[in-house]
Amino acid sequence: MISQPIRRPRSRSRTGGGPGGELFERLTPQPAYRRVSAAIEEKILRRSLRPGDALPTETELARQFGVNRSTVREALRRLESAGLVGRVNGGKRLLVTRPDSAETATRVSRALALDQVTFIELWEAMLAIAPRTAALAAERAQADGLARLDDVVTRVEAARSTEVVVAVVVEFFGLLAVLSSNRVLVMSTQPLTRLLAPSLRRMIDRVPQAQTRIVVAQRCISEAVRRGRSGEAETWMTRHVKDFRRGYELAGMALDTRVGFAAAPPAE
């Protein structure tokens, strides 16, 4: 019997995948201060440095990183502007801090506005988030939270200016997120409602019945939350968010309008 020659499989190139067949892409050079700030940020996010911990001095950081003090100073400026470090009561030493939730929401809102997101994109996100938030609030809200919710709805009903209506509506959604006892929902809701505020203001001005419909829906949501009826709260919130879209259409506002950033006005 004649043996057949062994056919060896062709070896595949281990360099394919990138432009020109390279396996890895070329690294993007970064200034030293960015690498320093990234290294400190990683320690903070990994909880090796905790809120309240003091950072080493600029001189000590420069020694440890093997860079100039000016490089460290610029890195610390970046971390301070991000809310990750700060000085307490005018002290000289920088401490690890936790960014304020309102400040974080503002940053996210600005980023979304700069990315030119549209009303319909925000509305779809609200439709996905708000009903479940209301359901969780109905399951978890405590007596003090329920009293605050009733107060918010009363203020929406009593408001005599569009600015105040919008501010309190934003507060209503934010409070439901707090009552859900889910910090992710709190952080997700704040930027969305803040971005929706300017267009909501225009819609209320153009649709006479808008404020009345908002009050009715929020009364029903509040009552469902009070009675612990999560399914009912979710259903009413779904109707409420869908009603916003109908209001925009009645106001003649294009759904693909790009949103603009505006801080929520103070409530009465």
Identify the pLDDT of residue 258.
84
Which has the minimum average pLDDT: 19-23, 55-59, 120-124, 218-222? 19-23
Whether the per-residue pLDDT at 265 is higher than 80: the answer is: no
CATH class of 32-96: mainly alpha
CATH class of 102-250: mainly alpha
127 and 229 Cβ atoms separated by less than 8 Å: no
Identify the pLDDT of residue 143.
94
Whether the per-residue pLDDT at 15 is higher than 60: the answer is: no
Identify the pLDDT of residue 83.
87
Beta-bridge partners for 95:
54, 86
127 and 215 Cβ atoms separated by less than 8 Å: no
* pTM, full prediction: 0.72
Identify the pLDDT of residue 246.
95
Whether the per-residue pLDDT at 3 is higher than 70: the answer is: no
CA–CA dist 30, 110 (Å, integer): 25
Whether the per-residue pLDDT at 79 is higher than 90: the answer is: yes
Residue 78 or residue 4, greater confidence? 78
**Span 36-60, mean pLDDT?**
93
Alpha helices in the chain (DSSP H): 32-45, 58-65, 69-81, 101-114, 119-140, 143-158, 162-179, 183-206, 210-226, 230-250
Identify the pLDDT of residue 48.
92
144 and 179 Cβ atoms separated by less than 8 Å: no
Q: In a 3-state reduction of DSSP, which class is residue 219?
A: helix
Whether the per-residue pLDDT at 125 is higher than 80: the answer is: yes
For the chain, the structural domain boundaries read 32-96, 102-250
Whether the per-residue pLDDT at 43 is higher than 60: the answer is: yes
pLDDT tens column, 131-181: 999 999 999 999 999 999 999 999 999 999 999 999 999 999 999 999 999
For the chain, give the percent of residues with pLDDT over 90.
66
User: Which pair of structure tokens corresponds to residue 35?
Assistant: 């690498």
> pLDDT band at 266, cuts 50/70/90?
very low
